[in-house]
């Protein structure tokens, strides 16, 4: 689908980006990522619409382009004409662990193929080119070789130079071309997801999320899980109470059984410890706690003892080592 030209296209383009932001805010609500920044400033401001940080600490930079004019797909020349490659290179050079994602409703087979091959390559740039890229009747189509040479050119790298091929592998391994429709079907899908997470009407949650960054002046700010959940709660939107989820208790029971079968106590049995009663009392009162200590001090014994006396009250103990 291509949009009408002029102001209408801009409005649909903004809606597309806003829907991608909703996707990230939902991930944030579910604690799948650490933060979201919509329209970041500073070194990430150049053609980056969204910055997120994953649980593992890796930063992702997202550039959204809803469509490619009247074309039904992207090719490398199209991306280069938008300055995507040099901007991606600048960001990837600035942070050697960062990832760059280009998000669009249209696919780019050329980039997807190169990225997949780079992510599944050995440490040898020579082998990568000779066996995974170079045109060969038995292995690779000529178009793959031509596209790789174009990619090198657009990234200001030299074909035939081993170091530059190695850099190309690194860049491609940290890039991703994400096909995201952002259409009405997607909107209904995300609303279904929201109904699994929140007790309120999912359409209301969606409307709050899609206007959050603009209506609350949170553009360019780092939005955390605590912030977005607090905002939703202030609008009487609450998460589903997982304590009522019938699937959770059987899973905890399974974890306890796995622990019991793997835990080997002393020949004299598990030592009686006063800490067990304290731990049990705190958890039974709804408190959360972390049992820690040096190796051999009895952490596993305490946890196992608590799990065995769980039947004395309604407290549920999940034990996993």
Alpha carbon distance 97, 320 (integer Å): 31
pLDDT per position as a tens digit, 174-193:
999 999 999 999 999 999 99
Distance CA 167, CA 132 (A): 16
The pLDDT score that the predictor gives to residue 76 is 98
Tens-place pLDDT, residues 139-162: 778 999 999 999 999 999 999 999
Pairwise CA distance, residues 120 & 233, whole Å:
44
pLDDT of residue 248: 73
CA distance 62 to 180: 12
Q: What is the distance between the alpha carbons of residues 90 and 69, in angstroms, rounded to a whole number?
A: 25
pLDDT, tens digit, 9 for 90 and up, residues 45-60: 778 999 999 999 999 9
Q: Quick one: which of 258, 252, 259, 208 has its CA closest to 229?
A: 208
Whether the predicted pLDDT of 6 surpasses 70: no
Asked whether 273 and 306 are in contact (CB, 8 A), the reply is no
C-alpha pair distances (Å), 66 with each of 45, 77, 246 = 19, 17, 40
Mean pLDDT of 253-257: 77
Range of weakest confidence among 70-74, 285-289, 293-297, 310-314: 310-314
Q: Is the pLDDT of residue 214 over 80?
A: yes
Taking CB atoms within 8 Å and a gap of at least 24, the contacts of 7-16 are: 12/66, 13/66, 13/67, 15/182, 16/64, 16/66, 16/105, 16/182
| Cβ count near 27 (within 10 Å) | 15
Asked if residue 227 has pLDDT above 60, the reply is yes
Mean pLDDT, residues 2-14: 57
């Amino acid at each position: 689908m291509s949009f009408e030209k002029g102001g209408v296209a801009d409005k649909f383009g903004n809606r597309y980006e806003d829907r991608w932001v909703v996707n990230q805010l939902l991930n944030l609500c579910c604690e799948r990522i650490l933060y979201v920044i919509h329209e970041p400033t500073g070194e990430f401001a150049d053609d980056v619409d969204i910055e997120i940080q994953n649980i593992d600490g890796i930063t992702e930079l997202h550039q959204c382009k809803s469509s490619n004019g009247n074309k039904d797909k992207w090719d490398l020349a199209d991306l280069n004409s938008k300055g995507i490659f040099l901007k991606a290179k600048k960001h990837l050079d600035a942070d050697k662990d960062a990832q760059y994602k280009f998000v669009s409703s249209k696919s780019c087979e050329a980039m997807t193929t190169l990225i997949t091959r780079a992510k599944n390559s050995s440490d040898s740039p020579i082998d990568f080119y000779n066996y995974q890229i170079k045109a060969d009747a038995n292995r690779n189509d000529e178009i793959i070789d031509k596209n790789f040479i174009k990619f090198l050119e657009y990234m200001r790298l030299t074909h035939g130079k081993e170091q530059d091929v190695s850099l190309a592998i690194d860049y491609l391994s940290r890039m991703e071309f994400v096909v995201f429709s952002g259409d009405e079907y997607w909107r209904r899908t995300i609303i279904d997801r929201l109904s699994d997470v929140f007790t309120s009407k999912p359409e209301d949650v969606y409307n709050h999320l899609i206007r959050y960054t603009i209506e609350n002046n949170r553009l360019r700010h780092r939005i955390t899980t605590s912030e977005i959940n607090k905002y939703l709660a202030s609008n009487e939107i609450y998460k589903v109470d997982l304590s009522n989820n019938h699937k959770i208790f059987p899973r905890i029971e399974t974890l306890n059984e796995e622990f019991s079968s793997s835990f080997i106590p002393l020949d004299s049995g598990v030592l009686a410890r006063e800490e067990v009663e304290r731990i049990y009392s705190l958890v039974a009162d709804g408190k959360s706690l972390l049992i820690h200590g040096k190796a051999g001090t009895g952490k596993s014994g305490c946890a196992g003892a608590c799990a065995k006396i769980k039947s004395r009250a309604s407290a549920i103990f999940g034990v996993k080592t």
